[in-house]
A and B are shown apart, each in its own frame.
Chain A
Amino acid sequence: MEQSFTYEARGHMLVIHLPKELDHHNCRNLKYETDLLLSENYISKIVFDFSQTEFMDSSGIGVLLNRYKQMTANGGKVALCGVNRQIGRVLSIGGIGKLIDSYETKEAAIAG
């Protein structure tokens, strides 16, 4: 089944709700969609919501790293929330743990 991202705008924040499986297949449209949203709106922070995500491979790491670079280059921030154990291991092996702050809930990630 085709899985996609849903986007939620909160002022200058963009919450990206990630799909159940975050692999190369499901990441294909993310760059185009977020680039479009970032060019049309002033966004100072992106929160990636992993609460529905059960699987992620290095394709997900590529997507996160690229958004992190994009945002920090303009003084913006990136945060994660709702990360489960498997995703946590993948993030840590991918070196994301040290770069991007992770919060338990979406509200905490937005506030943090």
Chain B
Amino acid sequence: MERFRMEIESLSKNEEFARVVTAVFMSRLNPTLEELDDVKTAVSEAVTNAEIHGYQGKEGIIYMELQAEDQQLTVMVRDKGVGIPDVKRAMEPMYTTDKTGERSGMGFSFMEAFMDQVQVESEPGKGTLVTMKKKIGR
């Protein structure tokens, strides 16, 4: 298994950085352009969630781990933020805690649409781990 780990500050400008790093790591699996776009979108959703929900826009570190084994890509995005009290509800399409109306509430739906598997482990006060898997180049 090949593995890559990084820690990034919870800042909105790092959303793009996280996507680009993931795309570069993933290129060793010879993905199609569509697969690259799918994974970049899912990573963007998970990192944005960590930043605006996990850390509530405040300071924090987002931990990312990428794994490649055979043709399987695994992306883990973890924060040590506030956690999600009800994961099932948070994953419902259109569910959002946002009051401005600018957030669609589709973050988890997008991760599920663009990846093969999405698993969310969370504990209030401890943080959230999102693990996403996708078979590349099928």
Contact = CB atoms under 8 A, between A and B. Distances in A.
A62 interface: yes
Contacts of A23: 12, 15-16, 44, 48
Interface string B79-111: 000000000000000000010111111110110
Main secondary structure of the interface of B (DSSP, over half): helix
Given A23-B44, A24-B48, A55 B106 contact: no
B67 interface: no
Interface in A28-87: 28, 31, 55-59, 61-63, 65-66, 69, 86
Main secondary structure of the interface of A (DSSP, over half): helix
A24 B101 contact: no
Interface string B17-45: 00100000000000000100100110011
Interface residues of A, number: 23
Contacts of A16: none
Given A55-B19, A58-B107, A27 B45 contact: no
Contacts of B113: 93
Contact of B16 (A25, A28, A61, A66): A25
Contacts of A94: 104, 106, 110
A61 B106 contact: yes
B104 A58 contact: yes
Q: Which 5 A-B pairs have the closest CB atoms?
A: A25-B12, A62-B104, A58-B106, A57-B44, A61-B104
Interface of B: 12-13, 15-16, 19, 34, 37, 40-41, 44-45, 48, 51-52, 98, 100-107, 109-110, 113
Given A23-B44, A55-B40, 5 more contacts: A25-B13, A55-B19, A57-B110, A62-B106, A66-B101
